[in-house]
Amino acid sequence: MKILVTGANGLVGRALCALLDDRGIPVRAAVRSASPISPGLDCVGIGSIDGQTCWSCALAGTNTVVHLAARVHVMNEAAADPLAEFRRVNVLGTLNLARQAAAAGLQRFVFVSSVKVNGELTQAGQAFSESDSPSPEDHYGISKWEAEQGLLQIARETGLQVVIIRPPLVYGPGVKANFAALMCAVQRGWPLPLGAVNNQRSLVALDNLVDFIALCVVHPDAVNQVFLISDGKDVSIAGLIRGIALAAGVPARLWPVPLWVLQAAGHLTRRSEVVQRLCSNLQVDISKAQKVLGWKPVISLSEGLHRAFKGR
């Protein structure tokens, strides 16, 4: 068995390749250009991903694809039609790869999608589940949902075994963007006005996600299933900041500013979306993954945060 991992030089891809290699599972890493990720790792350059990408060399000798490569949130979007750009990579590119994999006789296609397919927020105590009607709001979520639908159609037509995983925010060694900025702010002792926010958010540690992906590569009951995944314990933004501070060995500097004040400030500064992401609920129910696959998180939130800091 040899696994083709796309997006292998990203946060999740590097960790997954290392995990599979540690378990003695042969891996081929697909990256934009064939620069080595780690010594001895089989790498192949595939260029840009869209509906015309040729995957024959990357697929040769493999029997499973883990598709991580995607167009994600773009700062300072310059595309004239952003949704079309997301579809070009995340829909057409994904389905092109799946069709070529099926034609080459591969058995399984594991697709890492996003909780954004379900939506952007949940009501308190009402976690997303796999049976909920999808409600993507942004271009990224829409493109992931369309890719999921196309993959399941290909599975029906060809017999390709498809597994879909929808993670929430992933954190761990090497994490970037907003989570890295939050860790930096906490470590520097910046006062944060989030002490009164009692929301609940599902997160997934990098180690937990790649362990689950590796399980989906081989488990017979994962075939043609959709799974939501997380650390199994939700946390408020204030609790997350306290956890980050503990991992960093610094005090948590939290101001208990009322939620309505934060919302008003977000409106005035045109940062309402940022305030919503920080203060709203987004919970996922992982009971299906636990019951169907017998999976449980391999590390806790606390350990995940310590590893994130250690790997900076």
Q: Domain with 148 in it: what CATH number?
A: 3.40.50.720
Does residue 238 fall inside a structural domain? no
Other beta carbons within 10 Å of 53: 18
* Model confidence at 76: pLDDT above 80: no
Catalytic residues: 140
Distance CA 189, CA 4 (A): 42
Does residue 81 fall inside a structural domain? yes
pLDDT at 115 (0 to 100): 97
* Model confidence at 75: pLDDT above 70: no
* H-assigned helices in 23-138: 56-59, 82-86, 94-103
> What's the pLDDT band for 78 if we cut at 50, 70, 90?
low
Structural domain including 27 reads 3-172+202-231+283-288
Tell me: the pLDDT tens digits for 238-253?
999 999 999 999 999 9
Does residue 306 fall inside a structural domain? no
Does residue 274 fall inside a structural domain? no
pLDDT at 36 (0 to 100): 62
Distance linking the first and last C-alpha atoms of the chain: 33
| Overall average pLDDT of the 155-182 stretch | 95
Structure tokens at 168: 């929430």
* Model confidence at 110: pLDDT above 80: yes
Other beta carbons within 10 Å of 49: 24
Structure tokens at 287: 């009971």
> What's the pLDDT band for 263 if we cut at 50, 70, 90?
confident
pLDDT at 274 (0 to 100): 80
Does residue 236 fall inside a structural domain? no
Structure tokens at 32: 């934009």
Full-model pTM: 0.94
Amino acid at 207: D
Kindly calculate the radius of gyration of the chain based on its CA atoms and give it in whole angstroms: 20
Burial 196-225 (b: 16+ CB within 10 A, else e): bbebbbbbbbbbbbbbbbbbbbebeebeeb
Q: Is 94 within 8 Å of 39 (Cβ atoms)?
A: no
Does residue 93 fall inside a structural domain? yes
CA torsion angle 76 81 82 88 (round to 10): -130
DSSP SS3 for 41: coil
Does residue 24 fall inside a structural domain? yes
The residue ranking higher by pLDDT, 77 or 3, is: 3
Mean pLDDT of the chain: 92
Quote the number of domains for the chain: 1
* H-assigned helices in the chain: 11-22, 56-59, 82-86, 94-103, 139-158, 177-187, 206-218, 237-248, 259-268, 272-279, 287-293, 301-310
| Overall average pLDDT of the 295-305 stretch | 96
Q: How many residues does the chain have?
A: 312
> What's the pLDDT band for 34 if we cut at 50, 70, 90?
low
Share of the chain above pLDDT 70, in %: 96
Distance CA 160, CA 298 (A): 29
The residue ranking higher by pLDDT, 276 or 132, is: 132
Does residue 259 fall inside a structural domain? no
Distance set, CA 309 to CA 158, 211, 243, 303 (Å): 44, 20, 11, 10
